[in-house]
Structure 1
């Protein structure tokens, strides 16, 4: 009786392939090849594995299990530095979460955070072997980062690295389990917002071609780089909206995209500010700027800041920054009854975690217009309509009649 052969090779003429097959420990193992020689060579290698298992030399596993083990071994050998540089950084340095291209300034900052991360003692450790204890030790040394903000941003960068690694199966779980390091409250954040009277004084002490910037900052919450970049073509007098599409580039003489994707949007403009914008645009070409130097030429944010700094002293607020106007706008929106979602939409915040959990999408242009008008009324005062004046006169006459009747009764009683 002949020796029993190991497995079989079947020619599948309809497909032009050869299927190798064997059974061991209740598992049916198959693999398809383009030629018979390769199929039989594979069967021989599998037979050697089965014989080694039977002899107690090496445990047998299925080809699928072997592949998983090989992949796991390969993952364990991937260094953090290699994964960051080859898999993470190329996309992270170029694009925001929504797929938009990052501004040059944002890319520069991200490169700084990667530079801090590359100085970590575990930078060349296998990515699967870095522990939470390693991270705590790294974070404990503030000198690694040069300040609280770089420390937090570098931590967030590492967290993003591991989030990607987990999603891709490179690691089973992230060692980044602690909260992000807290930031001390900035000095600018502690500056009290401007009052309506202070804003009016600052407005009056600015030059005629720059004073509208006060209300663009305080009413619409625009950043100074956005203010000096507004062009006549950004204003739509029909819809009373203004398109925030540009900010000032680094050298102050050109235009770039705003700070982030959330900043690039169309803002509804309340009536009094709309009138000021109309006046500032009068006689200008579409590409001319709305806020200008005295001679009508482009003004840089540094020069506008100088004008503002002089005017703030006249209001008795030498502590104010132009950016405080933005805080003033958002505070007024809250005081006017805007919800957190509406306020953050009005302020065009872009932080992903914040916008997802609390502020997400605005509730519509009509509500945004109501908020804008509420902010304007709070800060610029309210110019009453004819109907409002007539109503006020009627109320006053009614009150006057009541007082006259009361006076008549008093005189009658004492007569």
Structure 2
């Protein structure tokens, strides 16, 4: 064990050593979030010698104030536990562990309720108004994100003309746009968020003419980027996000995020008959929990329709209920006319139903 090694020095080394599961360097928002977590943890434990970081110190921090919010606290707990787990593992070339046991023994806090989970999906009318309020050179992004693969904003910015197979009506999602491994500087083409994010999705027929028109109208036909930036070589996420934030006001939905288009895509796929696996494949997910917890929304109108269809099926054997559920008689019929006949017929059928149920019950009794 290195008695003088502080938590802060070890944490800085952890950032430098940290890699993705496939061994590649972390980049973009992942690196930014890691550095942010370590920054807050160093504020709490930076000068503490790693060998003196006890369960009592961790517990005091855990139950203390966390002004950066529930999500940040949960992220810091996960990071601290992973960091200390590394300190408990044998070093390279057979070096002994820096810690005999992990002083983080408390549970990871549950995920707080995300505010975005309360944002309803986009309606057709809202989507149309957003589309028309977007600048001409980026407006197709909202239709593509909502209707073709539920793309993330970085995936939309990374689209190239070669990704569109209009003959077979499929779109190949192969890359994303970020600020690179250091999360600084100009936008550049990078890898997708996960291996599952690499996918091929159907292009709806209604979008084919718009895609052809967009391809023809691009100012620089030698530039293979589908959405061409006004400045620089690559459309950055912030530019597209700002376009969307301004356009959403035209739809009267200042609560919308670009991510809501992805949520809308997932929700509509499920409501319109896609299986969970098909929806996961469209979004590029590998875990069911991710799709169910973060991307599906309840739609009140569909809940009402589903409840009505369920009741109509389960209660279809009761003739009195079937008659009662018929639409009301047209206005103008008096009580002694057709409306009265309908009421009498409903009453008669109800009595017949009750009589038949009684006969069936008697017939089912064993002979005396």
Is the shorter-chain TM-score for this pair beyond 0.5, marking a shared fold? Answer: yes
CA distance in 1, matches of 2:48, 2:201: 51
Post-superposition offset of 1:325: 1.0
Q: Which blocks of at least 5 consecutive residues in structure 1 are unaligned? A: 1-73, 350-354, 361-377, 379-415
Q: Identify the match of residue 98 of structure 1 among 19, 22, 25.
A: 22
Is it true that 1:146 corresponds to 2:68 in the alignment?
yes
1:194 paired residue number: 122
The Cα of 1:358 is off from its aligned counterpart by: 4.7
Say if 1:206 and 1:119 are closer, same or farther in 2 by CA, change over 3 A. Answer: closer
- Alignment-derived partner of residue 160 in structure 1: 82
TM alignment of 1:192-341, pairs within 5 A: 192-219=120-147, 220-237=149-166, 239=168, 240-249=170-179, 253-258=186-191, 260-262=193-195, 265-272=198-205, 273-282=207-216, 285=221, 287-292=223-228, 300-340=236-276
Name the SS of the counterpart of 2:253 in structure 1.
coil
RMSD: 3.8
TM-score (norm 2): 0.61
Task: Answer whether contact 1:214 1:325 (CA < 8 A) is retained.
Answer: yes
Specify whether residues 303 and 124 from structure 1 end up closer, same or farther in structure 2 by C-alpha distance, changes over 3 A only: closer
Q: 1:345 to 1:100 in 2, by over 3 A?
A: farther
Distance 1:315 1:117, change over 3 A: closer
Change (3 A) 1:227 1:119: same
Describe how 1:364-375 pairs up with structure 2 within 5 A: none
Aligned residue number for residue 340 of structure 2: none
Q: Is the 8 A contact 1:217 1:227 kept in 2?
A: yes
Match of 1:111 in 2: 35
Unaligned 5+ runs, structure 2 = 91-95, 292-301, 303-368
In 2: Cα distance, 1:177 partner to 1:340 partner: 36
- Return closer, same or farther for 1:96/1:275 CA change in 2, 3 Å cut-off: farther
1: CA distance, partners of 2:187 / 2:275: 36
1:89 matched to 2:15? The reply is yes
Alpha-carbon shift at residue 214 of structure 1 (Å):
1.1
1:268 deviation in Å? 1.4
Match of 1:346 in 2: 282
SS of corresponding position for 1:175: coil
Quick one: distance in 2 between partners of 1:192 and 1:227?
A: 22
Q: Whose Rg is larger?
A: 1
| 1:137 positional shift | 1.2
Deviations 1:13-63 (A, max 9, x none): xxxxxxxxxxxxxxxxxxxxxxxxxxxxxxxxxxxxxxxxxxxxxxxxxxx
Decide whether aligned partners of structure 1 residues 187 and 246 sit closer, same or farther in structure 2, where only a CA change above 3 A counts: same
Q: Is the 8 A contact 1:252 1:300 kept in 2?
A: no
Task: Show the 5 A alignment for 1:33-182.
Answer: 74=1, 77=3, 79=5, 81=7, 84-85=10-11, 88-92=14-18, 95-121=19-45, 124-127=48-51, 130-131=54-55, 133-143=56-66, 146-168=68-90, 170=97, 171=99, 173-182=101-110
Distance 1:90 1:313, change over 3 A: closer
Normalised by the length of structure 1, the TM-score is 0.55
CA shift for structure 1 position 311: 3.6
The superposition leaves residues 300-356 of structure 1 with CA deviations (integer Å, 9 ceiling, x where unpaired) of: 54444444344433333232222211221222233344455554443335xxxxx56
2:106 is paired with a residue whose SS is coil
